[in-house]
Amino acid sequence: MAQAAPKRSISVLKRARQAEKRNERNKAERTKLRTLAKKVAGAVDAKDKEQIEASLKQAVKAYSMAASKGIVHRNTASRNISRLSKLADKVLKAVAA
């Protein structure tokens, strides 16, 4: 004999709605982070000093904010910031020399 589906409480339904909204918001933020990282990489390929500095500053700020809000883990944010900085520094030092 088949059992009927259990009733769901109002709070469970609300929590599900909230989780869905947060998931969408966090997904958008992570997408933005990847886009900013690509901007830095593009500026590095173009060897445009001003663009590298501006895009790196923007990316670092976004990663730090995302880490503080819990969208990405703080170690992940730190690792990505470090990699982007290292990439940018390599080109900036070559351009300066």
Half-sphere exposure of 58 toward its Cβ, with a 13 Å CA cutoff? Answer: 17
Domains of the chain are 11-96 (1.20.58.110)
In the chain, the N- to C-terminal Cα span, in Å, equals: 80
pTM, 2 dp: 0.83
Question: pLDDT per residue over 20-33, tens digit each?
Answer: 999 999 999 999 99
Longest Cα–Cα distance of the chain, Å, equals 80
With a cut of 70, say whether residue 82 has pLDDT above it.
Answer: yes
